[in-house]
Homo-oligomer: A and B are copies of this chain.
Amino acid sequence: MNIHDLDTPAVLIDIDTLGRNLSGMSNYCHAHNLTLRPHTKTHKIPQIARLQLQYGAPGITVAKLGEAEVMADAGINDILIVYPLWGEKKWIRLTELAKRVRTSVAMDSLTVAVGISRASKAAGVEIGIRLEFDTGLERCGLSANKESIAIAQEIIALPNLRWEGISLYPGHIMGNQKIREHDIQLENVKLDQLYALFDSAGIPYPVVSGGNTPAAFQSHRFHGLTEIRPGTYIFNDRNTVDAESADYSNCAVTVFATVVSTSVPGKAVIDAGSKTLSADTLLSGEQKNFGYIQDRPELILHDLSEEHGHLIVPGDSHLEVGDQLRIIPNHVCPCINLHDRVFIVSGEKVVDQWNVAARGKVT
Interface residues of A (CB under 8 A from B): 7-10, 41, 63-64, 83-87, 89-90, 108-109, 111-112, 132, 134, 138-143, 171, 258-264, 267, 269, 271, 274-276, 278-281, 305-308, 310, 321-322, 333-334, 337-340, 360, 362-363
Contacts and interface: CB of A to CB of B under 8 A. Distances in A.
Contacts of A260: 83-86, 112, 140
* Best-buried of A90, A142, A261 by chain B (most CB within 10 Å): A261
B264 A141 contact: yes
Given A7-B89, A139-B269, A258-B87, A263 B108 contact: yes
A148 to B, nearest CB: 9
Given A269-B139, A306-B41, A90 B278 contact: no
22 contacts: A8-B87, A41-B306, A64-B307, A83-B260, A83-B271, A84-B321, A86-B260, A86-B322, A87-B322, A111-B321, A112-B321, A132-B263, A139-B264, A139-B269, A140-B263, A140-B269, A275-B334, A275-B362, A279-B280, A279-B334, A337-B338, A339-B362
Nearest to A89: B7
A264 to B, nearest CB: 5
A167 to B, nearest CB: 12
Contact of A275 (B258, B279, B321, B337): B337
A93 to B, nearest CB: 8
B276 A362 contact: yes
Contacts of A8: 87, 363
Contacts of A258: 86-87
Given A87-B7, A260-B83, A306-B63, A274 B139 contact: no
Nearest to A11: B362
A83 to B, nearest CB: 6
A307 B61 CA distance: 14
Given A7-B87, A109-B263, A334-B275, A139 B362 contact: no
Nearest to A9: B362
A266 to B, nearest CB: 9
Contact of A261 (B84, B267, B274): B84
